[in-house]
């Protein structure tokens, strides 16, 4: 194996944050873009839980949690010190992974959760957005004036949240969150992590992050 293999799904927030860390660390991988309802046997052999991302390193180590992929990549190269203030970052990530993500899913897929109206599901998410707004009111990023792991790890979920109903999100009285999100959406690392790839299920593989198809 000449490069690590990364099983990914472009729109998955967990996969996005892993890909961003790999781009930031300038780690080159063979990217395999999945059709999640048709997961390849090789991926399931290495990670039976069947979620993305899955990174198989050149030594054969399997890393199948997005946060672990981020830390593995940045421990090798971290030019902007995203891993600084790590304990504080991990506290933010744990809080939002455990408490916000489920509410986001119920809001986004409210038709699957008819126990509440879509508006009621959405209302339950707002305290988490307001907490971010309060946090960002006197600082550029969550832990200060420099981007840290917490910002990068939370950003894909706030992006997903905003995309559910963008006109509604844009009129919220959350200018700091909106600015924080807008800055990430234009960040070169995010843009480099987000090209459209044809499916590995159809035989396509790519060098990541340069996007060149692997033909051999």
Q: Which residues lie below 8 Å from residue 80, measured CB to CB, with a gap of 6+?
A: 24, 146, 147
Q: Tell whether 117 and 73 lie within a shared domain.
A: no
Q: Tell whether 94 and 178 lie within a shared domain.
A: yes
- pLDDT at residue 194, as a whole number: 97
Can you read off the two tokens belonging to residue 175? 């200018």
Q: Tell whether 100 and 181 lie within a shared domain.
A: yes
- pLDDT at residue 23, as a whole number: 98
- 12 falls within a domain: yes
Q: In what order do the strands lie in the sheet with 29-33?
A: 62-63, 54-56, 5-8, 29-33, 206-208
Residues 36-79 have pLDDT tens digits of 888 999 999 999 999 999 999 999 999 999 999 999 999 999 99
- pLDDT at residue 116, as a whole number: 96
- 110 falls within a domain: yes
Residues 189, 18: Cα–Cα separation, whole Å: 11
**Domains in the chain, number:** 2
Residue 73: closest CA among 138, 6, 22, 120: 22
CA atoms within 13 A on the CB side of 94: 6
Residue found under tokens 């939002």: 96
Residues 201, 32: Cα–Cα separation, whole Å: 8
Q: Tell whether 99 and 146 lie within a shared domain.
A: yes
Q: Tell whether 204 and 146 lie within a shared domain.
A: no
Residues 113-162 have pLDDT tens digits of 999 999 999 999 999 999 999 999 999 999 999 999 999 999 999 999 99
Q: Tell whether 94 and 174 lie within a shared domain.
A: yes
Q: Tell whether 141 and 109 lie within a shared domain.
A: yes
CB count in 10 Å sphere of residue 155: 23
- Apex CA 154: angle with CA 152 and CA 155, to 5°? 65
Boundaries of domain holding 102: 86-187
Q: Which residues lie below 8 Å from residue 7, measured CB to CB, with a gap of 6+?
A: 32, 34, 40, 43, 47, 52, 53, 54, 55, 200
Q: Tell whether 46 and 124 lie within a shared domain.
A: no
Q: Tell whether 141 and 126 lie within a shared domain.
A: yes
Q: Tell whether 24 and 96 lie within a shared domain.
A: no
- 213 falls within a domain: no
């Amino acid at each position: 194996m000449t490069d690590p293999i990364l099983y990914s799904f472009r729109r998955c927030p967990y996969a996005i944050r892993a890909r961003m860390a790999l781009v930031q660390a300038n780690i080159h991988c063979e990217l395999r873009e999945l059709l999640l309802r048709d997961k390849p046997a090789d991926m399931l052999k290495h990670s039976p839980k069947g979620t993305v991302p899955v990174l198989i390193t050149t030594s054969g180590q399997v890393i199948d949690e997005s946060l672990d992929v981020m830390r593995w990549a940045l421990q090798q190269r971290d030019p902007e010190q995203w891993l600084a203030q790590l304990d504080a970052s991990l506290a933010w990530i744990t809080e939002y992974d455990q408490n916000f993500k489920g509410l986001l899913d119920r809001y986004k897929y409210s038709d699957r959760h008819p126990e509440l109206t879509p508006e009621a599901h959405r209302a339950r998410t707002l305290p988490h957005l307001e907490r971010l707004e309060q946090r960002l009111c006197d600082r550029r990023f969550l832990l200060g004036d420099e981007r840290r792991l917490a910002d990068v790890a939370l950003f894909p979920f706030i992006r997903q949240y905003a995309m559910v109903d963008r006109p509604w999100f844009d009129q919220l009285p959350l200018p700091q969150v909106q600015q924080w999100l807008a800055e990430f959406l234009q960040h070169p690392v995010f843009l480099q992590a987000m090209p459209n790839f044809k499916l590995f299920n159809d035989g396509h593989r790519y060098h990541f992050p340069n996007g060149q198809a692997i033909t051999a």
